[in-house]
Structure 1
Amino acid sequence: MSSACPDYLERILNAQVYDVAIETPLDLAANLSRRVDNRIYLKREDMQPVFSFKLRGAYNKMSKLSPEQLARGVICASAGNHAQGVALSAQRMGVRAVIVMPTTTPQIKVDAVRARGGEAVLAGESFDEAYAHAVELGDREGLTFVHPYDDPEVIAGQGTIGMEILRQHAGPIDAVFCAIGGGGLIAGVAAYIKRLRPNTRIVGVETVDADAMKRSLAAGERVRLQSVGLFADGTAVKFVGEETFRLCQQYVDEVILVDNDAICAAIKDVFEDTRSILEPSGALALAGAKAWLAREGAHGRAVVAVTSGANTNFDRLRFVAERAEVGEQREAVLAVTIPEKPGSFRLFCSLLGSRNVTEFNYRYADPQNAHIFVGVTIQDRGELARLVESLKQHDLPAVDLSDDELAKSHVRYMVGGRAPQVDNERIYRFSFPERPGALMKFLDNLHTDWNISLFHYRNHGSDFGRVLVGMQVPPQDQSEFQDFLDRLGYEAVEETDNPAYKLFLG
């Protein structure tokens, strides 16, 4: 076989990876498997010493360099995980490593590179810009470039994952799912598995806003994207590799696309099964596996998802937790219009029934109608449709915003504003017990003449929900209002004179 078309089976079998890498477990995701009625196995590359598969390819490439090349040092461009692989490999080999990373790289990855002796250089806002800078810097300083994906030795190193999967699971595997950035991981895994088990489907997974491989395969040539989404930063690549594209054309059965909400749901799934937290790109394969199984209406299938990394910033988890339930279609986000009259709010809450309310935003706007932004837990989309129809039948029209990015990213935090036409408004912070019936107890004890002019609540996973409520209470009702607070028994703090309220809501 010519050098232009390397024998990947031979290269993978002879790959040098285990001086730095471990053979990671292939674990059944028991809880998720029961829920979807299929057997989903996780190839736990997030358990590598650098919490990513990337050190396999990096070390295999560097182990093939000549003493002269190693003596000059190496350089690479990476969004983070390849960088750590190169840094650790260089540390083991005792050579200099310069790592060029986009300025958008999570700090945890930058710190990890420096902790392993790598010289981290931040340049450009995308991988392509970092790559261009690395090539220029490498030429100037005589460093050997270690490509993150488009190199036969790097591809072969990643292909050892496929070798381990087949060794660890002797039975039939219906499909193997791999995240795609530049394509090195799926190219190596596919090249090995398809040679030995051609009936096993190899499915690539990309985000809807970084789908360079899917577009390239459809066009029959590599397609360069103008821009890519950065939530899954490890796979935010505009232009796939030449060799990886060739291998994907030959061996990959299809590429499936998922959105950020689906990735967040997959991160939560892995946490619930393993108590490990993946980075967005690390959960990409599982999100794709779930989407593929749902699309196929599959039952009893055995599939493998490569959990490719766990290097994420802690503050990213705020967004993940916010969106996971929506991504799993276990939370619906609705805009509901109710008439601005006594009893409407209570009717709305009664129609929600025993469903858990995850979020509630409302601010008085006009004397006729009120617009409520609400999140509720659901079992499936069918239940959501029934809820929307029930609200409609009671003259409470609702709009499903669960797939509306503007609503989920911005509007939910901006519902409200000033309401100068609201007289005698009293503002209170309450602590509601996080249990069914807590809100209805509040409403049942509320005087029917006291209009609710503001209501804000978001479930934060604690024992008590923090609720902000505005009520129009005439001065002559002060004594009765205090009786209401005493009777309610919930912790309450008045905020009517709070400067933030006066500036933005009063």
Structure 2
Amino acid sequence: QGGRVVLHGEGFDEAYTHARQLEAEKGLTFIHPYDDPDVIAGQGTVGMEILRQHPDPLEAVFVPIGGGGLAAGVAVYTKFLRPEVKVIGVEPEDAASMAGALAAGERIILNQVGLFADGVAVRRAGEETFRLCRELLDEVITVSTDEICAAVKDIFEDTRAIAEPSGSVSLAGLKRYVEREGPRPHGLVAVNSGANMNFDRLRHIAERAEIGEHREALLAVTIPEKPGSYRRFIQLLGKRSITEFNYRYSDPQAAQISVGVQLSDGDPEKRQIIAMLQEQGYPVLDMSNNEMAKLHVRYMVGGQASGLQDELIFRFQFPERPGALLKFLNRLSGNWNISLFHYRNHGADYGRVLAGIQVPVAERAQLKRSLDELGYPYWDESDNPAYRSFLNRGTVGATNRT
């Protein structure tokens, strides 16, 4: 009673430095959060609970590692009672201080760490925890941000609990282990620790989870810039769900598109899709593991097209179900070139598309009849100030609409 919580810094290292300063200035007692025998012993009671609650054959326990206190404690207890059980630490690829220390044979200091899984974002493993982990851990697995996001989703779908990235690291490691080793005959346990999650972070997790589960491929594809190209491209993908489609006119000969494709068979299916598109003459770039593309470029495909004539902008809404995008394109396609296209599956009942269509003034009455026949709600956005500011560069004929 009477204690005061002090929040300081962007991560553990800054908070640690500040705490040691307060210790020196005010004569306080510093209790290390992980590099302390008593703290390690306390965290080791997690191993005691696991073994008590799972007396059946157990192959491995997966534990998240920041400074290493939890992993060291669980390993000490588990290896003493059940030495045949593997204890495997798991770290994010961009904060792998323990994995780096074990590889080097000594503690190392990372120049910087990623803060997505901030609860395990530690630049240097503890001295005592390193000693124990080096002696007792069977291995340390590192996982990507996408794999962590997929694990957050798995936990939510199985338990309706929202885990923080640091707690979900261990499940991501378990999945990586099974992917490497194949189905296992005995139990696997992943320790889920922490609840440091905010609502805004969920938006990022939802975007990245599908790629982390190998359920989505993000591809950059070059297709001919002419009417009907989109429809032919989507037809090649068959009944696969399109999760995203981004394009903006930039060249009269070739169109550069960013497309997300839902996968049912992971990487083998992705490789099959890429090979099929290349056989059909489409240059393809796999962006599924390109961090800049996933964080930024996929949302920036577009810009202001110069010299583009007779462009109209429409916003559409249509029922979201497999094949809906192809059906939409089949019914929309005519003699007009699509100059802009943006679609993203948001998991809702309705899909939303923003499309630019080049239509000469004389043919706009025909376009209106075609749009009405679609039967989908649509809105003419050609005068929208957002379009005028960011997507249009002196488009000829756009103001002479009927």
Q: TM-score, normalised by structure 2?
A: 0.95
Q: Is the 8 A contact 1:261 1:326 kept in 2?
A: yes
Matched, 1:368 2:253: yes
| Cα distance between partner residues in 1 of 2:314 and 2:176 | 44
2:298 to 398, 412, 419: 412
Partner of 1:23: none
Cα displacement (A) at 1:297? 2.1
SS of 2:347's equivalent in the other structure is coil
CA-to-partner distance for each residue in 1:417-461, whole Å, 9 max, x for gaps?
A: 111221111101111211123222322223522100000011111
Partner of 2:326: 440
Partner of 2:397: none
Partner of 1:497: 383
Which structure 2 residue ranges, 5 or more long, are not aligned?
A: 393-402
SS of 1:445's equivalent in the other structure is helix
CA-to-partner distance for each residue in 1:93-151, whole Å, 9 max, x for gaps?
A: x2x43xxxxxxxxxxxxxxxxxxxx42232x3332222111111122222221211011
Partner of 2:64: 179
Partner of 2:160: 275
Partner of 1:471: 357
User: What letter corresponds to residue 158 of structure 2 in structure 1?
Assistant: D
User: What letter corresponds to residue 397 of structure 1 in structure 2?
Assistant: P
Q: Is the 8 A contact 2:242 2:325 kept in 1?
A: no
2:285 to 382, 395, 399: 399
SS of 2:288's equivalent in the other structure is coil
CA-to-partner distance for each residue in 1:209-249, whole Å, 9 max, x for gaps?
A: 11111111122211111111100000000111111111111
Partner of 1:119: 5
| Cα distance between partner residues in 1 of 2:301 and 2:143 | 29
Q: Is the 8 A contact 2:148 2:165 kept in 1?
A: yes
Partner of 1:82: none
1:191 to 69, 76, 79: 76
1:241 to 126, 132, 139: 126
Q: Is the 8 A contact 1:416 1:505 kept in 2?
A: yes
CA RMSD of aligned residues (A): 1.2
| Cα distance between partner residues in 2 of 1:205 and 1:156 | 20
User: What letter corresponds to residue 372 of structure 1 in structure 2?
Assistant: I
User: What letter corresponds to residue 411 of structure 1 in structure 2?
Assistant: V
CA-to-partner distance for each residue in 1:157-206, whole Å, 9 max, x for gaps?
A: 11110001110011111000000000010111000000000010110001
Cα displacement (A) at 1:310? 2.0
| Cα distance between partner residues in 1 of 2:83 and 2:322 | 52
| Cα distance between partner residues in 2 of 1:463 and 1:413 | 22
Partner of 2:53: 168
Partner of 2:395: none
SS of 1:227's equivalent in the other structure is coil
Partner of 2:337: 451
Q: Is the 8 A contact 2:245 2:342 kept in 1?
A: yes
CA-to-partner distance for each residue in 1:460-479, whole Å, 9 max, x for gaps?
A: 11111121000001111121
Cα displacement (A) at 1:390? 1.6
User: What letter corresponds to residue 478 of structure 1 in structure 2?
Assistant: R
Pairing of 1:11-410 with structure 2 (within 5 A): 94=1, 96-97=2-3, 118-122=4-8, 124-379=9-264, 380-410=266-296
| Cα distance between partner residues in 1 of 2:121 and 2:304 | 41
| Cα distance between partner residues in 1 of 2:78 and 2:330 | 63
Percent identity, please: 60
SS of 1:145's equivalent in the other structure is coil
| Cα distance between partner residues in 1 of 2:332 and 2:92 | 48
User: What letter corresponds to residue 231 of structure 2 in structure 1?
Assistant: R
User: What letter corresponds to residue 71 of structure 2 in structure 1?
Assistant: I
| Cα distance between partner residues in 2 of 1:484 and 1:389 | 36
| Cα distance between partner residues in 1 of 2:349 and 2:319 | 6
| Cα distance between partner residues in 1 of 2:24 and 2:377 | 66
Q: TM-score, normalised by structure 1?
A: 0.76
Which structure 1 residue ranges, 5 or more long, are not aligned?
A: 1-93, 98-117
User: What letter corresponds to residue 36 of structure 2 in structure 1?
Assistant: D
Which is worse superposed, 260-269 or 419-428? 419-428
Partner of 1:104: none
| Cα distance between partner residues in 1 of 2:42 and 2:302 | 54
Count of residues in correspondence between the two structures:
391
| Cα distance between partner residues in 2 of 1:437 and 1:250 | 54
User: What letter corresponds to residue 334 of structure 2 in structure 1?
Assistant: T
SS of 1:409's equivalent in the other structure is helix
Q: Is the 8 A contact 2:62 2:90 kept in 1?
A: yes
Runs of 4+, deviation exceeding 4 Å: none
SS of 2:58's equivalent in the other structure is coil
| Cα distance between partner residues in 2 of 1:328 and 1:363 | 29
Cα displacement (A) at 1:369? 0.3
